Structure 1
Amino acid sequence: MFESIRISLFNLKEKKLFEFFVITVIIISALEIGAKTYDLSETSLLVTKYLDVFITLFFLFEITIRFLSEESKKDFFKSGWNIFDTLVVVISLIPIDESEMALLARLIRIFRVLRMISIIPELRILINSLLQALPRLGYVVLLMFIIFYIYAAVGSYLFQDINPVLWGDIAISMLTLFRVMTFEDWTDIQYETMEIYPMSWIFYMTFIFFTAFAFLNMVIGIVVGVMDEEMHKERLKSEPSMNELQDQIKDIRGQIQILIDRENKS
């Protein structure tokens, strides 16, 4: 009996209509959170209060269905997304009014919007790709920091007297270089130093080449490469394995043999 209930819940979870309804509730939850940042009337506040109760209960209902439909309950918590969804739902049950943890409960309700990622597979692939790329990006970030540090030291020594606000010390110089890298009015900084050092444009051009062009392309290349790997893994999961194909072939051969035997008997 329990197995039939589990199969029914699994079929319900896999239906596109149910998935669409969950996504709709998540979007409504995001809009409800945004609406609370405005000055609302008492009627609107009452509506958002009941809406919040409905959303919380629905998420509890949805996570319960996902848990009960799992064939192995231990496997449910092997997924980081399931653990995240469970924590968000459980902490959302904390009463907001007259509670010492009211602020925590409100903050967790904001994170309910992130459940959109766990529901939509394409978004999960994007996030997993970014997480998988972090170790590789660490070396790029370290190399970029070295370049920043060298150029900040040179800029502080050369341009400190020109504008101490931008080049007063190495820390401020690094912030100025970040502004240059993001092209935030960087030409004003360049023309100011070029009045004293006409060849200082070389300093800015080489720094922009290393950071904005070279390193940015390296980051994009790493993320795209990891994303291709994750998509390949997802395709392998959806495709049957060699053993499964062999079992299917055996089943087909067995059915064919049964049909042949029936024909020979007749």
Structure 2
Amino acid sequence: FFTCECVLKMFALRHYYFTIGWNIFDFVVVILSIVGMFLAEIIEKYFVSPTLFRVIRLARIGRILRLIKGAKGIRTLLFALMMSLPALFNIGLLLFLVMFIFSIFGMSNFAYVKHEAGIDDMFNFETFGNSMICLFQITTSAGWDGLLLPILNRPPDCDLDKEHPGSGFKGDCGNPSVGIFFFV
């Protein structure tokens, strides 16, 4: 329905269609919905579930605001949100950069820590992906203490002479001073 409305308006108004802000909003929502429909199956088959496209489809709710003429406050709020999106994107990139650096740091210091408490096959610092998952868990304060506990291990709770094939690293003990710095 939205696609038909968009096409009819574009046919009727021609290039003037893009001079109205709400028409541009409608056009973006329709294009993202069409792209989401085509890519949803491909992404679901080969990569991850299409949750992002479902979130983008929520933008259709913004179309309702066109019908409400008295919603000046909500329009102002949405306009402020739209204007702050570039800054939010930059903040997201900065957060990713910090998490990337700390993920590499965690891999180099805690990759061979003994699996116990919060560190297991999924939550560990052995691979970059798992390290990012652990950092996300730490940032949300969800079980960070379970991740910290094995890092604080010292002998006799761990083995200093344990061999790790494929690397020159020995032992499965953590480093308490580096661990506390990392978590703070």
Q: TM-score, normalised by structure 1?
A: 0.36
Q: Indicate the structure with greater helix content.
A: 1
Q: TM-score, normalised by structure 2?
A: 0.50
Bigger RCO (CA 8 Å, 6+ sep): 1
